[in-house]
A = this chain, B = another copy of it.
């Protein structure tokens, strides 16, 4: 296992309901990030379909979990020796899902369907039905969730307790949820929440957001890469920027951070005799 390696958070505003164009754009971004040494590349939520809530537009932009996006990423992952994670609109059994995949150079593809649908997503997507994934990769163990999922503290906690070293978060952050979009340091609530939860759960996070306003919603951007002490290593990106953040994560350091000192061990110090978090039948 490589302990330290660069990771990339690719922020862009997709073109709405233009999957071929967005797929090509994602490929360009993945190749560019890999060219800069990134071994893990995270793309935004619904990066391929674009983020829109029109059922017909989404249906036209949807594909199965083994469609051109995932198979294309599998080929790219093998060619470039990178782990790739990003969001697309999945069609399965007549339903649409706000899905994300994580593919490895070895050819595995893990599919995640967003558990917590945000706002109008409830009207077009079916809620996730595949639990929360943590994928063992050659880089380390990578968990996956999408955007609004992070508002539910059970999600990052569960992924961390399931063994995730890093959580990939394809996202499309929007305003209107917190009272103030940004604090004085330029952090939006979602980015600040990622930082604090990374610290409390001793995991790194790579959050890659949609940006700009061309899809009819003004996204907040604010992609960022956070270490397991909750420190922001790269970002937050500007709201309208199309850019790729790169920072180095060290898996050995992340694992070491689960013990903060001889008597401060935030994992062991949990009171599992008093509480337990049960996820898909297993209690942590």
Contacts of A231 in B (CB 8 A): 179-180
The number of times this chain is found in the oligomer is 2
Interface residues on A, range: 35 or more
Provide the bound-state CA to CA distance between A247 and B35, in Å. Answer: 53
How many whole Å from A147's CB to the nearest CB in chain B?
12
**Is A196 an interface residue when CB atoms closer than 8 A count as contact?**
yes
Whether A201 touches B278, Cβ cut-off 8 Å, given contacts A116-B271, A185-B184, is no
- Asked if residues A278 and B283 are in contact (CB atoms below 8 Å), the reply is yes
**Chain A residues packing against B (C-beta within 8 Å):** 115-120, 122, 127-128, 131-132, 148, 151-155, 157-158, 176-180, 183-185, 189, 192-193, 195-197, 199-201, 229-231, 260-261, 263-264, 266, 269-271, 274-280, 283
- A185–B186 Cα gap in the complex (Å)? 11
A197 / chain B contacts, CB cutoff of 8 Å: 153, 196
> Smallest distance from the beta carbon of A176 to chain B beta carbons, Å?
8
Q: How distant is A161 from chain B, measured CB to nearest CB, in Å? A: 10
Q: A151-B200, A178-B230, A275-B280 are in contact. List 9 more A-B contacts (CB 8 A).
A: A115-B271, A118-B264, A119-B264, A153-B200, A153-B201, A178-B199, A183-B185, A184-B185, A189-B199
User: Nearest residue in B to A176 (C-beta to C-beta)?
Assistant: B261
